[in-house]
Amino acid sequence: MENAVVHIPNLSLGNTQSVANMIKRVGGEVIIAMTPEDLSSAKKIILPGVGAFDEGMNELRDQGWIDVLNKLVLEKKVPILGICLGMQFFFEGSEEGELPGLSWISGRLKRFVSTHEDPIKIPHMGWNALNVYRRESIIPEMEEELRYYFVHSYHAICGDVDDLVATAHHGSDITAAVQRNNIYGVQFHPEKSHTFGMALLKNFLSVKC
């Protein structure tokens, strides 16, 4: 199935292997793109990412990934799924750093704030429930309450609320999943979210190229 071949850029800031393992588990095929050139034939892309915003953007830029990503995602409309920091790159920027993001999705990342009235733990770490706004995206429909594993200290504020697919509650309602056309992003880690995560990755594999 051509749909199920996923390219993953080989970034140092990634848990690439965990994502690759889960894609294979749900019946997909993974090609690790060692260079931006390897990515150019991609029909579907996953951009994982853990670490700091500026460090990640620097790596994307210095190694020449940004041009090829812009071309594939914005011109060729190749479906892409950003996970955690990978999703955060899609926005315009982050309080965590100074560099601009890819700016595919409008909005910025803000740090969680714990207040006296509503104290929260930071990082937001653990299994949280989703409030789904848009049913037609890649969030699975399951009988059980959907819970995904989150670990992050910054959360996205969508500039265009129509991009919002799901939220989770931690202090306030935070962006858990977004979609703008062929661009999908999740703040949580589907590769660490057991059956819920596998169902979501399976849905991404069946997105039409």
Partner 1 sequence: MNISNLSKEPLPVKAKAPLAKRIIPCLDVKDGRTVKGVNFVDLRDAGDPVELAWQYSQQGADELVFLDITATHERRKTMVELVKAVARQINIPFTIGGGINEISDADILLNAGADKISINSAAVRNPDFIDELAAAFGKQFVVVAVDTKLVEGTNLVHLNGGRIATEFETEKWIKEAEERGAGEILLTSMDHDGTKAGFDNSLLKKINDTISIPLIASGGAGNVQHFIDVFEKTNVDAALAASVFHYGEILIPSLKEELRKHNIEVRL
Write the CB contacts of 172 (distance below 8 Å, at least 6 apart in sequence).
none
Q: Respond yes or no: is residue 116 known to be catalytic.
A: no
Based on CB atoms, which residue is closest to partner 1, 31 or 133?
133
Based on CB atoms, which residue is closest to partner 1, 149 or 209?
149
Q: Respond yes or no: is residue 7 known to be catalytic.
A: no
Query: What x/- string results for residues 183 through 202 when contact with partner 1 is judged by CB under 8 A?
Result: ------x-xxxx--xx----
Single-letter code of the amino acid located at 76:
K
Q: How far is the CB of 123 from partner 1 (least distance, A)?
A: 5
Based on CB atoms, which residue is closest to partner 1, 72 or 204?
204
Task: Tell me which of 87, 109, 158, 199 binds partner 1, using CB under 8 A.
Answer: 158
- Contact between 107 and partner 1 (CB under 8 A)? yes
Tell which positions 123-142 bind partner 1, by CB under 8 A.
123-129, 131-135
- By the criterion CB under 8 A, which residues form the site for partner 1? 15, 17-18, 21-22, 25, 50-52, 107-108, 114, 119-129, 131-135, 144-145, 147, 149, 151-153, 157-161, 164, 167, 169-170, 172-175, 189, 191-194, 197-198
| Active site residues per annotation | 84, 189, 191
